[in-house]
Structure 1
Amino acid sequence: MPKRIFLALALLAAIGLGVFWWLTIPQSIAAGSLPARQPDVANGQAMFNAGGCSSCHAVPDQPDRLKLGGGLAIPSPFGTFYAPNISPDPNDGIGQWSEADFVTAVVKGTSPSGAHYYPAFPYTSYQRAKIEDVRDLFAYLKTLAVVQGRVRDHEMPFPFNIRRSLGMWKLLFVDRKPFVADGAYSATWNRGAYLVNGFGHCAECHSPRNFLGAITTAQRFAGGPNPEGEGWVPNITQKGSLAEWSVKDIAYFLKTGELPEGDKASGLMGRVIRNTSQLSPQDQQAMAEYLKSLPPLEGPPRPKKKTEQDGK
């Protein structure tokens, strides 16, 4: 009898492992599914700026935002990520990647070796991007300077260092739905919605997250703890600071980093402005129009500041 029980448990374990392995297979895009086309490098540059690629992938502590050698440390509750080299270097960057490798990485979160990427790489937003725009971005990246240097591995404690488990995370939180324009709104609004929710990935910072690190859908854009550590990211719905801003104010902020009251963006948002400032006035206007339309949402409560009395 004990032997039968053991065999039954072993069989159930094998079945469970097989189901887990099947459910967590990394998805990819076959090269044959990408029809021949002439890339639009100028559009790729626009996607690069909208996506803020240099904010994470530029080599830290140097002024050239187009030196994409990576290395930036990105702290999180699950460990520390290090932004990879995405320059055209054939050994340390993406110089040997195929176009299908790049498209797969951006919209599926799967590496050329077939491993899941951590969602610190915001493919949860990039999945909304049009394949043509992703291909144009790849063409633009290939025009940039080669930067040598392999970035160190992520520092992830067990069990977060088991990449295969990210397949289950994706099943829960990656819906694989492309952006669909809303006919009830203007072309400008839809362009803004596409940029903000796709390459712009604004919700990735401006939303609270659950205990598994996924965006809390009901409070999307409603602000929350800084995902990189100390501080608080503001609520950008009409319940937050943007409620008093006009569309013109928001567009001007995306261009210059200047707030209506005269202050200037710094820190993480300052890095974002270095990218949005390079967008066309039309795209800045489109993003502003969409952001101004976000319905009011109550964000999570901010922690109380400690006083001297609290510290005693």
Structure 2
Amino acid sequence: MRARAGRLLSGLVLLAAVGAGAFWWLTKPAPWHAAHWEGLGEPDLANGERVFWAGGCTSCHAAPRAEDDARLVLSGGRPLKSPFGTFYPPNISPDETAGIGGWTLAEFGNAMTRGVGRNGEHLYPSFPFGSYARMTAKDINDLYGYMRTLPKSANVTPPHDLPFPYNIRLALGGWKLLYLTDEPRVQVDSADPKLARGQYLVEGPGHCGECHTPRDALGGFEAGRWLAGAPNPEGEGRIPDITPGSRSIGGWSASDIASYLETGFTPEYDSVGGSMVEVQKNMAKLPASEREAIAAYLKALPPS
């Protein structure tokens, strides 16, 4: 009887070990193969600047209340409070010590699109790699080339302040298994160049869904509610529904949306407010054709 119990215990231990090994294998950090970042040539800095503004890098990585050229100093540290704890965006200036000046293109690209840090660790999805996963290798190369031309900062940011169990990075592999994908969020007419471009900008570098889509208890997007509005992840209030038929922009035309992104004024001559102020400043830097593509995509969405 005792021998049988011992064999049973040994079997359970073996099963647990196999299960743990399988979980680790399925959820370990998965950077791109090195060849993904090869042969891209010299970065197109003009395109890199466009991607930079579309991606809203300054909104989280510039110092609070930075204006004009100071917004280009990506010193990090602006706290992002969430139900999971407080995240501190890092210094991503080209400083070789405090920033990412010593990173390779592959290290930068894997952080951007796979959520894998320079040392092979999982990154927290407070950094919107779940959206950036849709970005092309060319755009990543151009963006990194442009960012290397920006001012350096020696600022050292504090570590994230997260309670247990959210401070355990291993669990992030399970989160990625559930939610990380580069598939389109919705189906639009991909044969229409303007719609295809708008979809790329909104679902990819623009990462609009990170604030405008509601999340479940694990922090992943709720299925079927793309851009349908959500609680403000940083505090009070609500981020509006921006699908057609919504009370926020449902009655706007595509030209109204494009104008709002350029000027910050609604068709009723109200002005942009809240966290959208930073987003609008970034969108105003884009060519008019990019804002028009974003507007066309938003108008083509199914109503929430």
TM range (shorter): over 0.9
Q: Please, which of 282, 285, 301 is the counterpart of residue 278 of structure 1?
A: 285
Change (3 A) 1:13 1:184: closer
Instruction: Output the CA distance in 1 between the equivalents of 2:301 and 2:242.
Output: 8
Q: Secondary structure at the match of 1:80?
A: strand
Change (3 A) 1:98 1:45: same
Residue 66 of structure 2 corresponds to residue 59 of structure 1: no
Task: Tell me if the contact between 1:75 and 1:228 (Cα under 8 Å) persists in the aligned partners.
Answer: yes
Instruction: Output the CA distance in 2 between the equivalents of 1:242 and 1:264.
Output: 14
Task: Tell me if the contact between 2:134 and 2:203 (Cα under 8 Å) persists in the aligned partners.
Answer: yes
TM-score by length of 1: 0.91
CA RMSD of aligned residues (A): 1.7
Query: Residue 182 of structure 1: CA displacement?
Result: 5.7
Mapping of residues 241-280 of structure 1, within 5 Å: 241-280=248-287
Unaligned runs of 5+ residues in structure 2 are none
1:1-25 deviations in Å (ceiling 9; x for gaps):
3322322222122112211211111
Query: Residue 35 of structure 1: CA displacement?
Result: 2.8
Corresponding residue for residue 304 of structure 1: none
Mapping of residues 7-26 of structure 1, within 5 Å: 7-26=10-29
Corresponding residue for residue 89 of structure 2: 83
Mapping of residues 142-153 of structure 1, within 5 Å: 142-153=148-159
Query: Residue 33 of structure 1: CA displacement?
Result: 3.3
Change (3 A) 1:209 1:179: closer
Task: Tell me if the contact between 2:185 and 2:226 (Cα under 8 Å) persists in the aligned partners.
Answer: no
Residue 226 of structure 2 corresponds to residue 220 of structure 1: yes
Residue 95 of structure 2 corresponds to residue 92 of structure 1: no
Query: Residue 181 of structure 1: CA displacement?
Result: 9.5
Structure 1, 179-188 or 24-33: larger mean CA deviation: 179-188
Query: Residue 187 of structure 1: CA displacement?
Result: 0.9
Change (3 A) 1:188 1:81: same
Instruction: Output the CA distance in 2 between the equivalents of 1:34 and 1:265.
Output: 38
Task: Tell me if the contact between 2:63 and 2:74 (Cα under 8 Å) persists in the aligned partners.
Answer: yes
Percent sequence identity over matched residues? 47
Instruction: Output the CA distance in 2 between the equivalents of 1:179 and 1:11.
Output: 40
Task: Tell me if the contact between 2:243 and 2:298 (Cα under 8 Å) persists in the aligned partners.
Answer: yes
Change (3 A) 1:180 1:263: closer
Change (3 A) 1:179 1:104: farther
Unaligned runs of 5+ residues in structure 1 are 298-312
Task: Tell me if the contact between 2:245 and 2:251 (Cα under 8 Å) persists in the aligned partners.
Answer: no
Corresponding residue for residue 154 of structure 1: 160
Query: Residue 91 of structure 1: CA displacement?
Result: 0.8
| Amino acid in the other structure paired with 1:209 | R
1:103-132 deviations in Å (ceiling 9; x for gaps):
101110100100111111111111111111
Query: Residue 191 of structure 1: CA displacement?
Result: 0.9
* Matched pairs, number: 297
Query: Residue 185 of structure 1: CA displacement?
Result: 4.3
